[in-house]
Structure 1
Amino acid sequence: MTGNTDVVVIGGGYSGVMAANRLSLRDDVTVTLINPRATFVERIRLHQLVGGSHEAVVDYREVLAERVRLVVDTVARIDAAGRSVALTGGDTVGYDYLVYAVGSGSADPGVPGAAEFAYPLASLEEAQRLRAVVDAAPASAAVTVVGAGPTGIETAAELAEEGRAVTLVCGGVLGPYLHPRGRRSVAERMAELGVTVLDGPGTKVTAVTRHAVRLEDGRELPSNVTVWTAGFGVPDLAARSGLSTDSLGRLLTDETLTSVDDARIVAAGDSAAPSDLPLRMSCQAAMPLGARAADTVLSRMAGEQPQTLNQAFAGQCISLGRRAGIFQFAHRHDVALWFHIDGRPGAKLKEFVCKGIIKHLADEAHKPGSYGLHRISGGAKRRQLLEARRGEAPATAESAA
């Protein structure tokens, strides 16, 4: 390809910023990042915003390469045939390549009363709204957190450490990802903080009212503030634009993260479904996927075959208030090991990880191409899963360029 190449990145989260920064490696590439907010959101700190210990935002000047043009707007539709995106503000932006990194957000709870009376926690605006509600509630107000994944655990611990009366409703297992040893450690910390943990059969929420939460086993829990952290959804932009998606609405791609419909569209982060076998929604996956997506675009520009996905995981890091945390180590293919670091060292490690993520983005902004964690081998497990599901290795998308 000769002349200047225009690349549009939709979404300014962990994967989108990583991809945009990496794409600025070439002087003949113009990168436009389209994001609905003018500031970068540290999504992994939103529970801290609710607890009042962090604002969870960073100026884009700290993490975005100078050569990347930031457009504060929302994409209403992708015109793949015309290679352009229509913005809600009325403008149209053309592209030669598109990186689809719209991320994830709150899912429809599908539980009577939840949408009306529960407070989700997957975006900056939702966290700010919840913080205001918590601040306005009496100190003795009953707080119920629904969902026992990392967000639910972290939010429950953060609020309990501030003296709130918190009940964590698991709907099943506490910390499903965790090894039993790690789970016991989290349960012990929750007990220290005074959090009432309801797990096991019968703890799924069946209804939410203004002042209560009802469980499958018939119990009704008083709840002045109900926080909903169970499940995530993705924007329907891809489906709305006529692109192939999985059942949750993630863009279907091959193993190079290229859309199965169009070789000019590449996906990254929570909104990508490579080979219909998506990775765990997480910041840990988002940044390597962003780097991989950028490398795919750069390879296609150079007339080279892009490399395939090769994702490695380290584990799961969860804060348990400001004074404790846990780092649950895992196999490279994302299955928890017996080994973990908890307590005060776990809290320090969690904070190190949070700061390190911003440093990775800033380093890539200042020196595009320097990030290399996406090249660490995740082993043969993914290939085995793909072969078991399809009976053959996935083919790459090579639709007309």
Structure 2
Amino acid sequence: MTLAAGGTVGYDYLIYAVGSASTAPRVPGAAGFAYPIADLEEAQRLRAAVDAAPPTAAVTVVGGGSTGIETAAELAEEGRTVTLVCGGVLGASLHPRGRRSVARRLTALGVSVLEGAGARVTAVTRDAVRLGDGRELPSAVTVWATGFGVPDLADRSGFSTDGVGRLLTDETLTSVDDVRVVAAGDAAAPSGLPFRMSCQAAVQLGPQAAETVLSRIAGEDPAPVDVGFFSQCISLGRRAGVLQLAGRDDTARRHHLGGRTGAGLKEFICKGVVWQLSYEARRPGTRTWWVKDAKRRQLLEERRDAAPADPERATRGPR
């Protein structure tokens, strides 16, 4: 493994867990005038820009997913004048009931929500955001909360990747090119069927990647990945939130918990992540509290049955 400083690091096994980050926006002006918010350093730059803007200055948040919703709610709760530009549907991954709950809370906070095809951003300037339907929104601070991706390290290293650059692995999270490389988290694509970018997937995939390595060291066959989902959590300021219940395959269900209860549950889950990781460190292989997605195994079997005897690889191998 070659480092940016020029040195090298040898390994017997490598766990590829580089996560996700913002991608360079393709909308004209966005790279120069909008503030991404995918990591701590970006959030700190945005904080400084918001603090420097007048209290009544217009703030535009671009992106109707969880990150955009949470950012808009936090800024509005501080008293900022916020417009949330969805470029489609607000909270597209939520059930319509959960979506309505989010919309009500944003309205109560004073957030203007723009949805639909006409609400797609076509350009960003220093003090405005232009939309596809011709509207131009004043914007002293524009937050870019869309377009997440993964680092291109796997692709630059010559490994097989999916269309967005995730490392392709088999169901044991082992690279299809090298049994010594095991992937976990947002940057992994097991069988070309990656899980949603989320802490809920990461806290399950991380321990399983470690178990794959330990199994190989012990000369044993590693177990296939076994992941399940039960909810999506969205904060709506400090005093409200939505816990959207989901099926094991991450499909939103009709039930959700909102208001203070939703906020409290999300806070409890976030704090529980640390406990979970320490628990699994003490008892490797213990994941009994996670429901599992049986549909994934069925989907993989259907894909294998439908595939030709000698399919041509859709992604290139290592250089």
Task: Show the counterpart of 1:254.
Answer: 170
TM-score with structure 2 setting the length:
0.93
Which runs of structure 2 are paired with 1:276-295 in the superposition (5 Å)? 276-295=192-211
Deviation at 1:384, TM superposition (A): 2.7
Are 1:372 and 2:255 matched, yes or no? no
Q: Which amino acid aligns with 1:112?
A: P
Deviations 1:56-109 (A, max 9, x none): xxxxxxxxxxxxxxxxxxxxxxxxxxxxx1222333221111100000000122
CA RMSD of aligned residues (A): 1.5
Deviates more, 1:205-214 or 1:297-306: 297-306
Inter-partner Cα distance in structure 2 for 1:269 and 1:373? 19
Are 1:339 and 2:275 matched, yes or no? no
Q: Is the 8 A contact 2:68 2:84 kept in 1?
A: yes
Are 1:315 and 2:234 matched, yes or no? no
Task: Show the counterpart of 1:141.
Answer: 57
TM-score with structure 1 setting the length:
0.74
Q: Which amino acid aligns with 2:267?
A: E
Which runs of structure 2 are paired with 1:2-401 in the superposition (5 Å)? 85-365=1-281, 367=282, 369=284, 371-372=286-287, 376-379=291-294, 381-391=295-305
Deviations 1:294-320 (A, max 9, x none): 111111112111111121001100000
Inter-partner Cα distance in structure 1 for 2:151 and 2:306? 31
Inter-partner Cα distance in structure 2 for 1:108 and 1:139? 29
5+ long unaligned stretches in structure 1 = 1-84, 394-401
Q: Which amino acid aligns with 1:290?
A: G
Deviation at 1:362, TM superposition (A): 3.5
Q: Secondary structure at the match of 1:329?
A: strand
Deviations 1:194-222 (A, max 9, x none): 00000122111111111111111111111
Q: Which amino acid aligns with 1:334?
A: D
Q: Is the 8 A contact 1:311 1:374 kept in 2?
A: no
Deviation at 1:385, TM superposition (A): 2.4
Inter-partner Cα distance in structure 2 for 1:377 and 1:338? 20
Q: Which has the higher strand share?
A: 1
5+ long unaligned stretches in structure 2 = 308-319
Inter-partner Cα distance in structure 2 for 1:99 and 1:373? 23
Deviates more, 1:381-390 or 1:338-347: 381-390
Q: Which amino acid aligns with 1:121?
A: I
Percent identity between matched residues is 69
Q: Is the 8 A contact 2:186 2:202 kept in 1?
A: yes
Q: Which amino acid aligns with 1:260?
A: V
Task: Show the counterpart of 1:398.
Answer: none
Q: Which amino acid aligns with 2:297?
A: R
Deviation at 1:375, TM superposition (A): 6.3
Q: Secondary structure at the match of 1:181?
A: helix
Q: Secondary structure at the match of 1:86?
A: coil
Q: Secondary structure at the match of 2:9?
A: strand
Inter-partner Cα distance in structure 2 for 1:221 and 1:317? 30
Residues 373, 316 of structure 1: alpha-carbon distance in 2 compared, 3 angstrom cutoff: farther
Q: How many residues of Structure 1 are paired with residues of Structure 2 in the alignment? A: 307
Q: Secondary structure at the match of 1:91?
A: coil
